[in-house]
Structure 1
Amino acid sequence: MRYGTVDVLRDVTFRARHGEVLALLGPNGAGKTTTIEIMEGFRVRSAGRVHVLGTDPALGTEAWRARIGVVLQSWRDHGKWRVRELLAHLGTYYAPYSTGTIRRPWGTDDLMAAVGLTAHAGKKIKTLSGGQRRRLDVAIGIVGRPELLFLDEPTAGFDPEARREFHALVRRLADEHATTILLTTHDLHEAARLADRMMILSGGRIIADGSPDDLARRIAGEDEVRWTRGGRHFVRSTPESTAFVRQLFHQYGDEVGQLEVRRASLEDTYLALVRGAEAAGVRGADQAVVR
């Protein structure tokens, strides 16, 4: 993607598997939202090839759009509608695209229950709290039972309980309904909890692609195990801390004390990758990519 003479995205190459939850991470300005908007068909790319559900998004038909769901960062339309009325109305647009075993849309009552809005069904949208409004945004995004769901900062404004319920909903959509989900988030804990796979975008390119555990092991190094025995302190670095600790207790039993295991964290991994990519960019090198 090029604006003027500046490439804001270049060679962003990846595939999303059926039923996978894929998180796209990166600092502000990395190109996350631009990447998502190209795949949604809202922005026309400058070059390259994109296929979403087998279709070029720039040529997507209404039937193709009925197969995807989009949750934007925010929107403020339809303030005078009531929650149930709006969801029921939007559902009518998807009904003509029901085919075979794919039933579109969700039943309105089931959908409100799934996102925690049943108690607010009769409220006007303009009276909803920030968290309630975000739940409605999610409901609108999934009303058509999408095969592919785009979530752009989906839990912004959620309280901890609402965030926990939303995470359960995302996993249910992926596990029970085989929905492929691509989300952007700045919340690393959210990404680690939800994502089967994570990609880190920096400087307009993907610098890492893998599961949270894989990235932590490959980038942040081995786990560190600390313990005491017989009044002495010990430290050992190991790629398999669980197996090491099991062997430690098998060999020394109750002699082992003050055991501490420090695993490479997702935050450690993320910061190491972004800083490495920034340094490589300064040097003009392409050495920071991890697959």
Structure 2
Amino acid sequence: NGSELNGRTPHDEPALVQGLLPHLLAMTATPIPRSLALTVYGELDISVLNERPANRLPIKTQIVSPVSAAKIYEQVDKEIATGRQVYVICSLIEENPDNEVKSVQVEYKRLKNSVFGHRKIGLLHGKMKPTEKEQVMQDFKDKKYDILVSTTVVEVGVDVPNATVMIIENADRFGLAQLHQLRGRVGRAEYQSYCYLMMSGTNKPSERLREVEKSNDGFYLAEVDMQLRGPGEIYGRMQSGALNLQIATLADTALISRAQKAAKRFIEHEDIGSYAGLNERVRYYQRLTTLN
């Protein structure tokens, strides 16, 4: 799944640190601001695979306020009645009395004892033993559960084509990239799929949620994420945040792209060694690249 998805970058690879330049292909299905920042900064070329697999329909995403939750549960139950399956995602494992964020353990009991008492419900979280987690996921794939209440452990590497509904509780507490990644657990077959972003309270939805609601395009969401959070450190390990730039901003992708092309033309037609100050600055950034 490539270097970016697991927090590694080309700068982290031993071969590159030693000054070697092997052929390298980094792949990610996750919109990460740093990825886009490095691309427009000129360190990576990007190829976008934006074609949806055959017979796949766009996932219908909807922001849901607490007062509308009951209506959504009715729609979800109808989906289960057709033979489909459902994920319910919570950010916490255990209840925290200091906040109103839902936990998988409490939500599992609530859904099992009231809302979906007539349905088969499974529970999955990171504190379970590996063998237990594998068994729960296998049972879900085998349709022994209609609903799987889980933490974000299902975010990566889970493929259950029959699952068509994703309910994300307290969605306003998740990052844009994580919401998009979680949503990708459904819509993996020819069936129409749905993602419900459940709000924590009565506040207006954030711009982040609005963007996830209106778009399934990961590359577009990566641009939005960079605008909202910042691209992080180019020669560091922060995935987001403000850059120490005095004039330009990497949110201005058009400007950076023009600067990149201008720099390329300059290098092709000029002897950089004849510009002492510029040459020293370039060497400085080359050393930073090697160190990182």
Same fold (TM over 0.5): no
Which one has a larger percent strand, Structure 1 or Structure 2?
Answer: 1
Normalising by structure 1, what TM-score?
0.31
Normalising by structure 2, what TM-score?
0.31
